[in-house]
Amino acid sequence: MSSIKLIATATFGLEAVVKREVINLGYTDLVTEDGKVTFSADLDAIPKANLWLRSADRVLLKMGEFKALSFEELFEGTKALPWDDWITEDGKFTVTGKSVKSKLFSVPDCQAIVKKAVVERMKQKYKKDWFSETGPEFTIQVSLLKDIATLTIDTSGTGLHKRGYRAQSVEAPLKETLAAALVELSFWNKDRLLLDPFCGSGTIPIEAAMIGRNIAPGLGRSFASEDWPRVGKGLWKQARVEALKSIDQDTRIRIRGSDIDAKAIETARKNAVNCGVDDCIEFCTMPFSQFETAEDHGIIITNPPYGERLGSLKQVHNLYRDMGKKLTYNNTWSVYVLTSEENFETLYGRKAHRKRKLYNGRIRVDYYQYHGQRPPRGE
């Protein structure tokens, strides 16, 4: 198979997590930059990466990169790329764009130029002046950063956070990709108890269960490139079969999620059933004031209410003080908290061992990591 370049895009702060996931898939020729990990691979990496990447936002096929200081340079550089190797004669393609610190700052104009250049390339290939665009869909992106144009085709379609298991959402849900990253950034493994006392619709417990069961997060959905002849349905079928064979059905997974909202818990149970991990998770309706556990060496990963979500800062601050009282009494537990509250450590009553800056949608948040004692060797 011929080598291609793929870009796994990432939310700010999660580049290292996505890099590790790419390496775990067997791809080591890679470059990590802000918001993306670019790697070399064979054609079968398109289905493999889309099915398995848990924390990436999308998988883009990199068509080319060049300097573009004028519309003419953008047109000629785009036209020179092998679009006809990928886009079919009846392919339906749209162009999206963005421009940062570049001379070509008008995104609509750049999109129009790229569209025109691709059509000209297709005319040369197929010897015709009009295309029906009734076939597979191809979304081209022109990204200009400091006058360097990067041209890609989106292999994913809908963003990778859309796993397909969410029956319905509750207010301010956590993206599935971010929830998976929170689990991967913790010391949790499938042999340890995991708790989420503010689980909402169950995103963190469900993503953890998928990791514990080794379920490819993309198994329950479709992707744009499944209809591309260049990739072929055979590669997609092979990747799905291999993913199904990789599922661990034997290990006992212990995850518990609770929330004060009964409707959210009902939704969480439905989501877990849709995902096929309902046997791994116990959900219950319970206020945090009743939260307790008698076990040692567990993991708490949670996304408690912020001021933006709960409405009252006083309520939020009191909640965080209560969390500090309840969650610090047992130093064998590791606690991981995602919140936008800048004074969380003060309210919680303890400085985190590590704090990582992330984004939950457009909300700037921090991931506070409190490391408990490690279990005795052999446990």
pLDDT at 14 over 90: yes
Is 166 a member of any domain? no
Is 286 a member of any domain? yes
Give long-range contacts, CB 8 A cutoff, 24+ apart: 343-350: 343/317, 344/320, 344/368, 347/317, 347/320, 347/321, 348/320, 348/321, 348/323, 348/324, 349/321, 349/324, 349/325, 350/324
Report the CATH number at residue 197.
Answer: 3.40.50.150
Choose one of 103, 124, 154: the last residue of a domain: 154
Contact 57, 158 (CB under 8 A): no
Question: Among 255, 254, 257, which Cα is nearest to 283's?
Answer: 257
Residues 276, 366: one domain?
yes
pLDDT the model gives residue 132 = 87
Residues 253, 182: one domain?
yes
Tell me which residue range forms the domain holding 354: 176-217+247-370
- Of 6-10, 239-243, 306-310, 327-331, where does mean pLDDT reach its minimum? 306-310
Q: Return the structure tokens found at 260.
A: 């004060």
> Which residues fall within 8 angstroms of residue 238, CB to CB, at 6 or more apart?
44, 47
Percent pLDDT > 90 in the chain is: 85
Is 195 a member of any domain? yes
pLDDT the model gives residue 336 = 98
Residues 205, 337: one domain?
yes
Contact 279, 206 (CB under 8 A): no
Residues 85, 195: one domain?
no
pLDDT the model gives residue 310 = 53
Residues 140, 208: one domain?
no
pLDDT tens figures, 77-130? 999 999 999 999 999 999 999 999 999 999 999 999 999 999 999 999 999 888
pLDDT the model gives residue 378 = 60
Residues 146, 269: one domain?
no
Residues 146, 183: one domain?
no
Residues 196, 128: one domain?
no
pLDDT at 193 over 80: yes
pTM of the model: 0.94
Is 268 a member of any domain? yes
pLDDT average, residue stretch 201-215? 97
pLDDT average, residue stretch 318-333? 92
pLDDT confidence of 172, banded at 50, 70, 90?
Answer: low
Query: For the chain, give me the number of helices (H) and strands (E)?
Result: 11, 14
Residues 147, 184: one domain?
no
Secondary element (H or E) of residue 282: strand 281-285
Is 298 a member of any domain? yes
Whole-angstrom distance, CA of residue 302 vs CA of residue 327: 12
Whole-angstrom distance, CA of residue 176 vs CA of residue 159: 10
Quote the number of domains for the chain: 2
pLDDT average, residue stretch 236-264? 96
Residues 137, 260: one domain?
no
Q: Return the structure tokens found at 118.
A: 């691709």
Give long-range contacts, CB 8 A cutoff, 24+ apart: 124-128: 124/84, 125/84, 126/84, 126/89
pLDDT at 309 over 60: no
pLDDT the model gives residue 163 = 95
The three-point CA angle 365-367-370 to 5° equals: 150
Is 230 a member of any domain? no
Is 167 a member of any domain? no
Whole-angstrom distance, CA of residue 122 vs CA of residue 85: 10
Is 168 a member of any domain? no
pLDDT the model gives residue 170 = 60
Choose one of 154, 184, 208: the last residue of a domain: 154
- Give 27: exposed, middle or buried? Use CB within 10 Å, 0-12, 13-18, 19+: buried
pLDDT confidence of 169, banded at 50, 70, 90?
Answer: low
Residues 10, 141: one domain?
yes
SS3 of 83, please?
helix
Report the CATH number at residue 137.
Answer: 3.30.2130.30
pLDDT confidence of 272, banded at 50, 70, 90?
Answer: very high
Half-sphere exposure of 334 (CA within 13 A, CB side): 24
DSSP bridge pairs for 150? 65, 143
pLDDT the model gives residue 329 = 83
pLDDT average, residue stretch 332-360? 95
Residues 185, 284: one domain?
yes
